[in-house]
Amino acid sequence: MGRVKLMISYEIDPSKREEYLAVIRELKILLNFDSLEDYSVYEVRGKSNHFEEIYTYKSEEAFENSDDEENERISILINKLSTLTNGNSTKYSTLFEVNSSKTN
């Protein structure tokens, strides 16, 4: 089974940038599950206050079960992030890794 990437892109209100960065710093500390291979946040080059979060899960099963691993503090922080975004700017993409091994 291949890895799964969940990508969430959005724009934040410029006046809430410091608050946003503080939430992301705490999330990076808390999101250290066995099923989560990596959690990264990027700012889009040339677009101030446009960010993309990328969650990389070890497998499709790990991705499907990821909600079970969240604790109350993580849920609060994720909800807080949604209040910092500008309107309908949030876009989600889920990518499933293609298994490149050949079968006969």
Tell me the residue type at 91. Answer: K
For residue 93, the model assigns a pLDDT of 96
**pLDDT tens, residue by residue, 83-99:** 898 868 899 999 999 97
Could you write out the DSSP letters of every residue in 45-84?
TTSTTEEEEEEEESSHHHHHTHHHH--HHHHHHHHHHHHH
pLDDT recorded at residue 19: 96
Residue spans per domain, the chain: 4-96
The residue with greater pLDDT, 23 or 74, is 23
Q: Are 6 and 90 in contact (CB under 8 A)?
A: no
CATH number corresponding to 4-96: 3.30.70.100
What's the rounded mean pLDDT across residues 62-80? Answer: 83
CA 59: distance to chain centroid?
Answer: 16
pLDDT of 101 reads 61
Pairwise pLDDT comparison (66 vs 21), residue with the higher score: 21
